[in-house]
Structure 1
């Protein structure tokens, strides 16, 4: 599907660079909306008119702390990696989708391979970069900008029945899909999800699609539990009810809270011989963990980091209707209200996934 938007058609035929508002983190507590000029794209880059961008936990960390884990902000950086939009100028080298094509973005650039790293898991390559990441310097700017140049290889065309608003969830849904896949076959099993924020809720939706027989979602707040129920959780539990969580005895646990209390609940809620997948990024440094219980129960503790090609699976599942994720979106704000949007997104009691709108509005 392509679009006949005359503004996009005009831009596609223009040789003039454009500019637009962008969300830029300068330091902890210093988030600005700035007009950013668009440089001349490289031959393998397409120009994208960004429609929506989802605010991720890493975006919040750069704003609040000037760092996301070990990735420390050393210079101003455009945030954002959960992106949907429309190609307004195709890559000059002929690769990638044509102008007018609605797309989502795979934000990773794997580093060079090495024999000791699995070739089929480029997310683990040590030189991997990611849009909107300060892991390396110079930083990799993100795509919270009205217009952005992106390598054509990052772009995934969207079927006509997926709107750009829903499509903004494709990247975090791929993170959840990867986490569930790390657990193996979940069909017919009991699954427990600790932390029902956007990634946890998306994991619930993926587990539902994958045929889990019973899905129990846990969170500290009422709204995330409502969202989890809307996307497929059979039961919801308050995180404070430790006894009820432990009684679940889940075959598979997805830990998405990103704190050691959640990891403790995950271990306690897993059945003997069960699997705990850790997708929530815990703080760096030593942490208290119930390792003795994991040992005596012979639990499998597995890490889950970003994703590889699962974004293509998510697009297919959204297109055929087998993956239902719309309830995860609770707010969208125009880019000129980005500061308010970030304030809402930081409060898990009142928001799920918060989107920024960059000008196109809803499209499909």
Structure 2
């Protein structure tokens, strides 16, 4: 099959062996695959990518050494492996979480050599984790289920309550997904912050209540106006008097050094910071500030199959307009250029590959 294969810190389009489905697996023809920011980071800084994966308990494979990226996918079933139930007929358009399981071992699809991703013409998927794309849903939009399911998990793990204020820092695909899930579940106000006017406009289309340009104003100066006690003294007094006011959750979807400390400094006492952006460089924070404010700092990574399935239904039934964030489409030969384009937030937000 033809595939875009990593070579050093770039990619080349070449012929590679077709993947062969084994016990409990399906062979699918790739119809669409989103380009994820994780792919850009892995190729740009493979050593940091592997070290982060290793230290968090994963099995790292060198991104410079012939991987076929692509973990946001939709495809069409073309062949069954042995021992499959064959509940979905050949020709069914499917998608699913990027979890590779089988006799080859386990790994993340697109980041393990035994599970080539959607930057190739064919993939192998575990039958038990494969979901039929609801009729009429564009495969390109179905592919966006993966990043939006990551956002769904972050929202669920945040414990945000009804009426709590949400601040979303960074409006890449994950941040936009967080905005979409918050609004689909009736939360608000949702304040969406990004330097890019284009990405702020996308957040507005997904229902964000307020848009903030961090170059013009702080995302942290609205707490009092929105009824959120800001200081530890105010929070304690509210608890003693039974007038606690609103809570707040800050979703950090940027993932670059310095942002987490800014969130700690700007967060109101007793609030939660959800760390969703994956910073792969060393960073420095001041724990004393977080402790004194009694902040909850939580991480969120990936999504479980049930979260993926629920997100797919939200998209298919129109509660979430995932297709609105797609700003470009390329073939295999256009992937390298797309990686460059995605470095400019005013040029592109989400590019989908159609092999």
TM-score w.r.t. the length of structure 2 is 0.83
CA RMSD of aligned residues (A): 2.2
**Does 287-296 or 203-212 show the bigger shift?**
287-296
Q: 2:35 aligns with which of 41, 47, 55?
A: 55
Post-superposition Cα deviations, 1:248-280, rounded to whole Å, max 9, x if no partner, equal 466111110001332233324432211111010
Partner of residue 3, structure 2: 22
Partner of residue 153, structure 1: 128
CA distance in 1, matches of 2:260, 2:50: 17
Q: 1:181 aligns with which of 148, 152, 156?
A: 156
Structure 1 residues 211 and 128, CA gap change in structure 2 (3 angstroms): farther
Post-superposition Cα deviations, 1:322-343, rounded to whole Å, max 9, x if no partner, equal 2222221111112222222221
CA distance in 1, matches of 2:11, 2:64: 14
Post-superposition Cα deviations, 1:51-84, rounded to whole Å, max 9, x if no partner, equal 1111111211233233425244362111111001
Confirm or deny: 8 A CA contact 2:212 2:218 kept in the other structure.
Answer: no
CA distance in 1, matches of 2:23, 2:99: 19
Greater share of strand? 1
CA distance in 2, matches of 1:87, 1:313: 22
**Secondary structure, counterpart of 1:220 in structure 2:** coil
Post-superposition Cα deviations, 1:69-118, rounded to whole Å, max 9, x if no partner, equal 5244362111111001111223442325221111112112479xxxxxxx
Confirm or deny: 8 A CA contact 1:25 1:32 kept in the other structure.
Answer: yes
Shift of 1:154: 3.1
TM-score w.r.t. the length of structure 1 is 0.81
Q: 1:76 aligns with which of 42, 66, 74?
A: 66
Shift of 1:349: 3.0
CA distance in 1, matches of 2:278, 2:50: 8
Confirm or deny: 8 A CA contact 1:46 1:87 kept in the other structure.
Answer: yes
For structure 1, which runs of at least 5 residues remain unmatched after alignment?
Answer: 1-18, 112-126, 359-364
Is 1:99 aligned to residue 90 of structure 2? yes
Partner of residue 312, structure 2: 315
Structure 1 residues 350 and 338, CA gap change in structure 2 (3 angstroms): same
Partner of residue 114, structure 1: none
Q: Number of paired residues?
A: 319
Structure 1 residues 244 and 101, CA gap change in structure 2 (3 angstroms): closer
Shift of 1:235: 0.8
Partner of residue 25, structure 2: 45
Post-superposition Cα deviations, 1:300-346, rounded to whole Å, max 9, x if no partner, equal 10010111131011012122222222221111112222222221123
CA distance in 2, matches of 1:69, 1:44: 29
